[in-house]
Amino acid sequence: MKILQCSSLNKTYASGESTVHALRSITVGFEQGEICAVKGPSGSGKSTLLHILGGLEYPTSGDVLYQSKNLFAYNDNQLSILRRRRFGFVFQAYNLVQELTAYENILLPVLLDKKKPEEKYISMLVELLGIQDRLHHLPGALSGGQQQRIAIARALANKPAILFADEPTGNLDGKTGKEVLSLLKYVGKEMGVTLILVTHDLNIAEQAERIITLEDGSIAQDSSRQEV
């Protein structure tokens, strides 16, 4: 069974007099634990697809099933709880809370869920990501690579089933980007998390097990599909 499956997803935006077709009839599924890159030119719909798969945005039509349940059948509150508990998000811009220390940022989703942090698990994450000695700094005092590793720890703090990452290495230099990506892959594999990674960087995409290529809102290629 696929952990995440979408069918006939369409997304249109009104843009003045005209309509932008950001996604056109996308049907695709993801296995538990799979590492999949989504690539394609700017404007091809990568972020839109990621946001809809992650329940951050509604499609114009079509469904997204998480463990066979339709995301958009939940009300807003239920959907945000599901997102917080089962999904993790990493964005290009890190999106850390500037007033909180790195450690407080990592714990945020757990505390928002009114749960007690699992100290052991959090220390394991912190160690895997190599951020032990940065935990009590504010984000402003951290390098981009360090901030992104904190953001990854935060995204994994609730033990999500799926990690969605949109250009997570986009603001990092080539070397740091590679390191962050290896860490993402490593923790994903260690924890059996499904990783859906948007990137326009071919070198990064090629490190994934599967590559989906979007063109103009459609799937132009999917490396997991047999060519006909």
Binding interface with ligand ATP (CB under 6 A): 13, 15, 20, 22, 40, 42-48, 200
How far is it, in rounded angstroms, from Cα 124 to Cα 130?
Answer: 10
The DSSP output letter for 49 is: H
Nearer to ligand ATP, 72 or 121 (CB): 72
The binder of 44, among ligand ATP, Mg ion, none, by C-beta within 5 to 8 A per type, is ligand ATP
Nearer to ligand ATP, 22 or 37 (CB): 22
Q: How far is the CB of 166 from ligand ATP (least distance, A)?
A: 7
Q: What burial class does residue 45 get, using C-beta atoms within 10 Å of its C-beta: 0-12 exposed, 13-18 middle, 19+ buried?
A: buried
Q: How far is the CB of 128 from ligand ATP (least distance, A)?
A: 28
The binder of 165, among Mg ion, ligand ATP, none, by C-beta within 5 to 8 A per type, is none
The binder of 82, among Mg ion, ligand ATP, none, by C-beta within 5 to 8 A per type, is none
**Is residue 70 helix, strand or coil?**
strand
The β-bridge partners of 215 are 218
Q: How far is the CB of 39 from ligand ATP (least distance, A)?
A: 9
Of 26, 32, 24, 78, the C-alpha closest to 55 is 78
User: Tokens representing 141?
Assistant: 């005092």
CB of 107 closer than 8 Å to CB of 143: no
Residue 48 interacts with Mg ion (CB under 5 A): yes or no: no
Among 9, 40, 45, 47, binds Mg ion (CB under 5 A): 47
Q: Which residues bind Mg ion (CB under 5 A)?
A: 47
